[in-house]
Amino acid sequence: DNTITEFIKTGEWEPISIHSSHINGDILVGMRKDGEPSKVTRYNKTGTEIQNIQSDNKGQALYIDPRYITENINGDVCVSDSNKLAVVVVDKSGQHRFSYIGQRSGFNPYGICTDVLVHILVCDDISDTVHLLDQDGQFLCLLLTKQQGVKYPCSVCVDDENNLWVGQWNTNTVTVYKFLQ
């Protein structure tokens, strides 16, 4: 019926990424605010804030710019933070599990998603690749590279038929690859 409903007010916090949980319908919002460490906030379906994920158990900020966010089927929250130059993963309780900083210098993570095997897939804008990680952040392989025609990958998702979709910002293209056959 074309109705727009205000779901939540984030106050001075700027919502820069959002993800709807396939596990329970919660909404995960990556936010930043001048002078504060960035955070990921979990809201339930009615808009009630139920979790803030902001720092590790040593009090260190987890995020600088939580620009891309997804949730793995094991409940881990996976954030691609291009200002921190890392993929930051916390468990469902918000405890920091690991940060992935690439295989060599010059890793700049953008779009992120997961698959049915609990893998994490993340675009690297610098090397024009898509990295495949296991659920514990171990590098498995470069799934896509320049040799396969990938250039400037910035967004990624896996559909319900296990096709890998990649948006490429400088070529203005969306490509699809057979994945998990």
Question: What are the tens digits of pLDDT across the range 30-71?
Answer: 999 999 999 999 999 999 999 999 999 999 999 999 999 999
Q: How far is CA 134 from CA 55, 57, 70, 118, 123, in A?
A: 23, 23, 15, 7, 15
Residue 107, φ and ψ in degrees, nearest 5: -85, 125
Element (H, E) at 153: strand 153-158
pLDDT at 94: 98
The mean predicted confidence, pLDDT, of the chain is: 95
pLDDT at 153: 96
Q: Residue 38 and residue 17: Cα distance in Å, rounded? A: 12
Assigned token pair, 10 = 């984030």
- Residue the block writes with tokens 């910035």: 154
Q: How far is CA 80 from CA 23, 88, 111, 148, 152, in A?
A: 20, 6, 7, 23, 16
pLDDT at 166: 97
Residue 99 has pLDDT above 80, yes or no: yes
pLDDT at 42: 98
Q: What confidence tier does 17 reach under pLDDT thresholds 50, 70, 90?
A: very high
User: pLDDT digits over 66-97, tens only?
Assistant: 999 999 999 999 999 999 999 999 999 999 99
What is this structure's pTM?
0.94
pLDDT at 63: 98
pLDDT at 27: 98
Residue 156 has pLDDT above 90, yes or no: yes
- Residue the block writes with tokens 């966010």: 69
- Residue the block writes with tokens 């339930």: 44
In the chain, what are the domains? 14-178 (2.120.10.30)
Residue 106 has pLDDT above 90, yes or no: no
- Exposed/middle/buried for 87, CB within 10 Å: 0-12, 13-18, 19+? buried
* 3-class DSSP assignment, residue 162: coil
Residue 142 has pLDDT above 90, yes or no: yes
Residue 181 has pLDDT above 80, yes or no: no
